[in-house]
Amino acid sequence: MNDPFWVDSSSDRRCFIHREIYGRKFSNQVLPYQTSMGRIESSKDFGIVSMTAIELIHNFLDPVKWMNLFPTIVTEAKTIEVLDSGTWGGSIQLMYEKLHILSPLVEAREFLFIRCCRQLDATTWIMVDISYDIFNEIQSGVPCYSWKFPSGCVIQDMGNGQSKVTWVEHVQVYEKYQVNSIFRDLLCDREAYGAKRWIVTLQRMSERCNFSMGSTYPTRHDFKGVFHDPEGVKNTIQVSQRMVKSFFEILSMTDYDGDFPTSSQVNRVDRISVRENEEIIEPKGFIAIATASLWLPLSFQDVFDFFKDDKTRNQPYNMHKEMLVLEETSIDEMGAFLVYAPIEIRAITSIVNGVDATKVPILPSGIIISPDGRLSSNSDNTANAQNGSILTVAFQILICGDNPTSKQQQFDVVASVHGVLGATILKIKEALGCSDL
């Protein structure tokens, strides 16, 4: 359509919907409750993805594949009901998903929506999501905290195993908890849930899928003698994928607010939670999760380079004993992450030798570095690089002993873990020359 719905931002070349023009065109749009209290976010972006249109649609319709395709965004997903499967050359289904941001200081978003996937012509598919308030039919007045206006993507198959994907996000959200407005605004201004992040993640994960399926494969020289069995490479990729997904899931901690309050209630820049684990894929016992976010006057590239270099990284992370660590790092224009987990020698040997690694226990920790979204200017009054970044540190500690049920036990656990977290943050600031922050 030729209507000027989209407006280009002059400062950072991002697109957003012109609310007045959109409202005139779609005046009958169904709106969620409490519209005056919500914040509307809209964005659009495109990119080339190393998957065919059919492969992408199959991944979008399967909730498990949907989570695996976006492990750093989607925490939970499930299909509630299939409404149509093939009548109009596509599918319509009612779905639920929970999304998380790059910091535990900003709450997760939950959507109940109808997803429609349809083939428009021989090479073009669309996937459209729109919120559906099923609770309104059951009980009037149930608030919707996250609402999708028509969002989704257009997929154009290029015929060479690749597709051009144009992604659109258009949502209205409400913060149930005012956890930390400063971090929320900095992260959301950078489109933490925006179209660019979906496209960049999709590009990275499509390349990963092709690698694990064997369509792209490095030479033996790239493995430096570590891997001798192709199954060992696939195993390592699968374990690393599970590690990254598990790490990003622990960032969604606002649901546990108050269970184990931190000892610093003023700035609310850190969060601590304790959970009991009985799953095979993680160490059994009670696990303490400690996270903190802080702003740094450094570019996310410089912070990432610092942590990726083992010569500088050991300044804030002092290992008291030698151990094998599986680590995955990633950096793109939206930010960077470094996720790692200690693994027993017996377990890593079985992984490398191609033995089934689906039940290898793993407890990941890591860091996330996000641009703060603010632009500085040079002498010519033109936009320059971001002048800061937001660093999120998150680690998990296996607690020995019984369930900390009493108030005193809870306090002791929180105090101990909070002390470790605080000491780590101080070392990071000191190593980066930011002790005065």
pLDDT per residue as tens digits for the range 320-379: 566 788 999 999 888 899 999 988 888 888 888 877 777 788 889 999 998 876 644 443
Please check whether residue 28 lies inside any domain of the structure: yes
pLDDT averaged over every residue in the chain: 79
Q: Are residues 250 and 156 in the same domain?
A: no
Please check whether residue 222 lies inside any domain of the structure: no
Please check whether residue 436 lies inside any domain of the structure: no
pLDDT level of residue 94 (50, 70, 90 thresholds)? very high
Burial environment of residue 12 by CB neighbours within 10 A (0 to 12, 13 to 18, 19 or more): middle
User: Above 80 in pLDDT, residue 70?
Assistant: yes
Which region, left, alpha or beta, applies to residue 407 given φ > 0 means left and ψ of -120 to 50 means alpha? alpha
Return the pLDDT at 212.
67
Please check whether residue 410 lies inside any domain of the structure: yes
Of the candidate ranges 4-8, 278-282, 328-332, 358-362, the one whose mean pLDDT is the lowest: 278-282
Is 147 strand, coil or helix? Answer: strand
Q: Are residues 254 and 391 in the same domain?
A: yes
User: Above 60 in pLDDT, residue 169?
Assistant: yes
Q: Are residues 193 and 250 in the same domain?
A: no
Distance (Å, rounded) from C-alpha 223 to C-alpha 230?
11
225-249 pLDDT, tens digit per residue, is 666 677 778 888 888 999 999 899 8
- The CB density around residue 154, as the number of other CB atoms within 10 Å, is 18
Q: Are residues 323 and 362 in the same domain?
A: yes
pLDDT level of residue 412 (50, 70, 90 thresholds)? confident
User: Above 50 in pLDDT, residue 394?
Assistant: yes
Distance (Å, rounded) from C-alpha 231 to C-alpha 353?
7
What would you measure as the largest C-alpha separation in the chain, in angstroms? 65
Determine the structural domain holding residue 252 and report its residue range: 229-431
What is the distance, to the nearest Å, from the Cα of residue 21 to the centroid of all Cα atoms in its chain?
Answer: 32
Question: Do 63 and 241 meet the contact criterion of CB atoms below 8 Å apart?
Answer: no
* pTM, entire model: 0.84
Please check whether residue 186 lies inside any domain of the structure: yes
- The CB density around residue 19, as the number of other CB atoms within 10 Å, is 12
Q: Are residues 354 and 233 in the same domain?
A: yes
Please check whether residue 250 lies inside any domain of the structure: yes
Return the pLDDT at 267.
43
Please check whether residue 48 lies inside any domain of the structure: yes
pLDDT level of residue 166 (50, 70, 90 thresholds)? very high
Q: Considering only CA atoms, which of 359, 357, 397 is closest in space to residue 281? A: 359
Count of domains forming the chain: 2
| Helix (H) / strand (E) containing 285 | strand 285-296
Per-residue tokens: 69: 């395709």
Q: Are residues 126 and 207 in the same domain?
A: yes
Q: Considering only CA atoms, which of 70, 71, 148 is closest in space to residue 109? A: 148
CA-derived radius of gyration, the chain: 23
Q: Are residues 163 and 238 in the same domain?
A: no
Q: Considering only CA atoms, which of 26, 24, 8 is closest in space to residue 16? A: 8
Considering 176, 211, 246, which residue would you say is the last residue of a domain?
A: 211
